[in-house]
Amino acid sequence: MKIHNTYELKKAVDNAVDSVKITDVHTHLFTTDFGDLLLWGVDELVTYHYLIAETMRCIDMPYKAYWNLSKKEQADLIWNTLFIERIPYSEACRGVLTVLAKLGLDVGSRDLNAYREYFRNMTVEQYIDKVFEISGVKTIVMTNDPFQDDERAVWLGNYKGDERFKAALRIDPLLNDWHNHYKRLQEWGYSVEEALTEETLKEIRRFLTDWIDKMNALYMAASLPPNFTVPEDSVRSKLVEECIVPVSREKNVPFAMMIGVKKLTNPELRVAGDSVGKGSIETVEYLCAKYPQNKFMVTMLARENQHELSVAARKFRNLLIFGCWWFLNNPSLVEEMTKMRFELLGSSVIPQHSDARVLDQLIYKWSHSRKIIADVLFDKYSDVLATGWTIEDDEIKKDVENIFGGYFWNFLERKF
List interacting residues with ligand FIX (CB under 6 A): 28, 143, 223, 258, 271, 326, 355, 357
Nearest-approach distance from CB 357 to Zn ion, in angstroms: 8
Nearer to ligand FIX, 20 or 324 (CB): 324
- Smallest distance from the beta carbon of 123 to ligand FIX, in angstroms? 25
Residue 24 binds Zn ion, judged by CB under 5 A: no
Would you count residue 145 as binding Zn ion (CB under 5 A)? no
Nearest residue relative to ligand FIX (C-beta):
223
Q: Per CB under 5 A, which of residues 348..407 are in contact with Zn ion?
A: 355
Residue number, 355 or 399, with CB nearest to Zn ion: 355
Task: Considering the complex, state which of residue 127 and residue 326 has its C-beta at the smaller distance from ligand FIX.
Answer: 326
Nearer to ligand FIX, 91 or 336 (CB): 91
Q: Please choose which of Zn ion, ligand FIX, none residue 352 contacts, taking the beta carbon within 5 to 8 angstroms, the exact cut-off set by kind.
A: none
8 A C-beta contact, residue 27 and residue 356:
yes
| Chain residue whose CB lies nearest Zn ion | 355
Of ligand FIX, Zn ion, none, which one does residue 357 interact with (CB within 5 to 8 Å by kind)?
ligand FIX
Rank residues 143 and 280 by Cβ distance to ligand FIX and give the closer one.
143
Residue 91 binds to Zn ion (criterion: CB under 5 A): no
Q: How far is the CB of 306 from ligand FIX (least distance, A)?
A: 16
Q: How far is the CB of 398 from ligand FIX (least distance, A)?
A: 30
Taking the least distance from each CB to Zn ion, the nearer of 76 and 355 is 355
Minimal distance, residue 357 CB to ligand FIX, in Å: 5
Q: Which is nearer to Zn ion, 9 or 29 (CB)?
A: 29
159 binds, among Zn ion, ligand FIX, none (CB under 5 to 8 A by kind): none
Site size toward Zn ion (CB under 5 A) is: 1
Binding region for Zn ion (CB under 5 A): 355
